[in-house]
Amino acid sequence: MATSLQTIPNLGPASEAAFAKAGITNAEQLRALGADEGYRRLLAAGTQPHFIGYYVLHMGLQGRPWNDCKGQEKKDLRARFDAIKAEFGGSKEKGRSDLEAALQFFGVLEKPKKA
């Protein structure tokens, strides 16, 4: 029987919904894929890259609290995150693709509102 993604520490309803859009619907699938491939699939499904989300996923799959990531481990994960993000190309401005950045430049897309 498949278990909810929310059984993985640090993952809640928003994470579960994002993973569902990426075709990952249960904890067993995510564990089998691992953090890097799971995160790649999130990005491929349109999730904007965010380092904290990436390392939270790593910590959760290890059964660790999200804020347990420190020092060299965090630096190493940052390098891996940057490499994964680079696989998706784009302008890197807030995770936008080159096409999105160009459409925004020409006024076809609105600039994102600041929080």
State residue 8's pLDDT score.
96
> Exposure of 78 by Cβ count < 10 A (0-12 exposed, 13-18 middle, 19+ buried)?
middle
Q: How confident is the model at residue 103 (pLDDT cuts 50, 70, 90)?
A: low
Query: How many angstroms separate the CA atoms of 80 and 84, rounded?
Result: 6
Residue 85 CB contacts under 8 Å (≥ 6 apart), including other chains: 43, 49, 92, 95
State residue 91's pLDDT score.
43
State residue 10's pLDDT score.
93
Q: What is the mean pLDDT of residues 71-97?
A: 80
Helix-then-strand count for the chain, H and E: 5, 0
Three-state secondary structure call for residue 69: coil
Q: What is the pLDDT of residues 11-68, one digit of tens each?
A: 999 999 999 999 999 999 999 999 999 999 999 998 989 999 999 999 999 999 999 9
